[in-house]
Amino acid sequence: MKKTLRYILYALPVLLIVAQAFRIDKSVPEYDRSQDFLALMQAPQDVADLMRAACYDCHSYESKYPWYAEIAPVSWWVKQHINEGREHLNLSLYGSWSPKKRAHKIEECIESLKEGWMPLKSYTRGHPEARLSESQRMAISAWLAGLPDARFESEHDH
Ligand code: HEC
């Protein structure tokens, strides 16, 4: 038992060194920046700044990687969040969405802000600038709710 533990302790640094060879892919595909959500909606500067700080690392192609994202296995964990975040909601591709999808995603963003499940807690721990106050959450939600794109009557969908 003691021996096994010692082997594990010896192997750990080696594993960590080998892990560094598996770099994450930070490249993004070619995309049209004019189709970005904040650009198309002509977001006021304060809202745009807040959303860039609190949402855009995971929900756009404009992710900024912190220094610790260079180090495996943390880098894999960071990339996993980004992949998953973009999969669910990539605001860089907003212009290509249908009116129905736009309204639905805007509504979900409002919910996530009001209910507090976004940005992810694991993210705000390392990103103080992404910690939104109650009034900042209200300001973003109010702006989102007022967008013409937020109103989509399902009758139009036939
Ligand atoms: C650290 C990465 C990260 C940040 C920052 C982040 N999100 Fe997310 N978000 C995710 C991940 C991962 C998912 C998918 C899994 C889940 O729902 O937890 C998600 C899901 C969502 C969804 C659900 C989308 C759908 O249709 O399934 C919404 C809406 C959302 N996020 C809004 C936001 C908003 C608004 C912000 C900023 C205030 C934000 N997120 C910040 C990672 C992030």
- Among protein residues, the one with the nearest Cα to ligand 1's atom 14 is 85
Given a cut of 90, whether residue 111 has pLDDT beyond it is yes
Q: Does some domain include residue 29?
A: yes
- pLDDT given at position 153: 74
Distance 109 CA to ligand 1 centre (A): 8
User: Average pLDDT, whole number, for the chain?
Assistant: 95
Note whether residue 56 is domain-resident. Answer: yes
Which of 145, 146, 116 has the alpha carbon at shortest distance from 132?
Answer: 116
Q: Whose CA is nearest to atom 7 of ligand 1?
A: 119
- The CA–CA distances, whole Å, from 95 to 11, 36, 107 equal 49, 7, 17
CA–CA distance, 136 with 89 (Å, rounded to integer): 21
Number of domains in the chain: 1
Range of the domain at 32: 25-157
User: How many CA atoms does the CB half-sphere of 144 hold within 13 Å?
Assistant: 24
Residue nearest to atom 24 of ligand 1 (CA): 88
Alpha carbon of 65 to ligand 1 centroid (Å):
17
In a domain, 3, yes or no: no
In a domain, 1, yes or no: no
Structural domain includes residue 19: no
pTM of this prediction? 0.92
Tell me if 82 is assigned to some domain.
yes
Q: For residue 53, report the distance from its CA to the centre of ligand 1, in Å.
A: 13
- Our mutation pick for probing the ligand 1 site, out of 55, 82, 127, 138, counting the most ligand atoms within 8 A of Cβ, is 55
pLDDT in tens, 12-65: 999 999 999 999 999 999 999 999 999 999 999 999 999 999 999 999 999 999
Residue 143: both structure tokens together: 């702006």
* For ligand 1, atom 2: residue with the closest CA: 58
Ligand 1 atom 28: residue of nearest CA: 109
Residue 2 lies in a domain: no
Average pLDDT over residues 119-129: 95
Q: Within a domain: residue 79?
A: yes
pLDDT reported for residue 156: 55
The vertex-83 CA angle with 117 and 28, nearest 5°, equals 130
Q: What dihedral angle (degrees, nearest 10) is formed by the CA atoms of 125, 62, 56, 46? A: 110
Within a 10 A sphere around the Cβ of 118, how many other Cβ atoms?
22
